[in-house]
Amino acid sequence: MSLLRIASRTVFQTVKIQNVVPVFSVGIRQKSDSADLKEVMTDLIPKHVEEVREFRKQHGSKVIGEVQVDMLYGGMRGIKGLVCETSHLDPELGIEFRGYTIPQCQELLPKAAGGEEPLPEGLFWLLCTGHIPTKEQVAFISKEWANRAHLPSHVVTMLNNFPNTLHPMSQFSAAITALNSESKFAKAYSDRDVHKSTYWEYAYEDAMDLIAKLPTIASTIYRNLYREGSPIGAIDTDKDWSHNFTSMLGYDNEMFTELIRLYLTIHSDHEGGNVSAHTCHLVGSALSDPYLSFAAGLNGLAGPLHGLANQEVLLWLEHLQEQIGDEVSDERLREVIWNTLKSGSVVPGYGHAVLRQTDPRYMVQREFAYKHMPEDKLFKLVAQLYKIVPDILIEQGKAKNPWPNVDAHSGVLLTHYGMHEMNYYTVLFGVSRALGCMSSFIWSRAMGLPIERPKSLTTLGLKQLVGAS
């Protein structure tokens, strides 16, 4: 085993052991005992808005970086141009939700009775407030979402009339767009009876309604496409968000529900610059309501370079397994990987635009698999690849990050529990990503962030700017 891999693992083990209380990205320190999230945010928001106002007053003209020509042609990689209060992506530690790493969230966030994985409701509270919630605060979110989960009749009719040839992500996005009819934000703005300082309150109500309804929409799509249109059943107000979701999907395996709790937590937010989060923020900056904004983000998530990656990894793994069989030596697998790279192909699921260590989201899924499905044949292949691929990529010298990302593992876990419908996986991703997009949306309206309008240049203009002939 390479020293680099040992170092990569040690980073996350150390973070989990430390269990330190981090400095939040929002400068609020006092924790509220109220179980009402909106009430808590009503107290937090004015303090943070004032903090930002003072910060900008003193440091608004400070330079924080430089922009090179290659950045404009390279997807704006590395340009510091957005404010995202909910999460930060550290190249070494991975994603930090309000300063908490994934191992810390696993340890500190409340769990279901008898469960071991964090409840996504707790992660949403953390993203919105910067505080680890109590069990009572998480129970408030679970109850709120269960009570808001019903769909208007026109959306149900729309979902049931979609042809089965329409991709599940297209159905998901279209249904959420249609929910715009229920938007409290859009109505308040249209009626012109709301001050912009209270925009966030209507955004909050829409966000809570939207997140609550996502499992109902997603389950209806799943049942229509893969279960002959069978009914999803009723929402149980005594169940948590994930448990209701898996029940409506038609799964009664407790470990699958635990997996979905973990999945929905770790896929929720990944800073503000990724395609889905940035698209949602961009559209929202035009004061489009949360439904329209999130639907736009989902259309970005549906792209093969963003949300479809886990599907592509699983297809590659299954093809690899067919090629080499269930049991293969490390030497033979190493030979196959080298041949793959020499043919001009890549190893799906390895590398990341920002991370320079093993993705902690990969690691927690790996731990889940070792605990609950250690004999799964595809998992064994994934684990064997983790031993071999990083060293090969390091030796090849092309990859900036030779470590696996979240997509290298998630599909294997889902298929183990019987969810083989790969076209649907991005819908699960979308349900999760709403937690990050909507918490950010609320804060964007609370902070009064303006419409986003960066400056673009032509190649001719760039040449003139740098003095090129």
d(CA 105, CA 15): 11
Active-site hit among 352, 359, 409, 416:
352
407 is catalytic: yes
d(CA 406, CA 392): 19
Active-site hit among 306, 372, 376, 391:
306
d(CA 145, CA 168): 23
Sign of CA dihedral 155, 159, 161, 167: positive
Active-site hit among 240, 278, 407, 416:
407
154 is catalytic: no
Which two tokens mark 360? 């902690």
352 is catalytic: yes
Q: How far apart are the first and last CA of the chain?
A: 51
Give the catalytic positions in this structure. Answer: 306, 352, 407
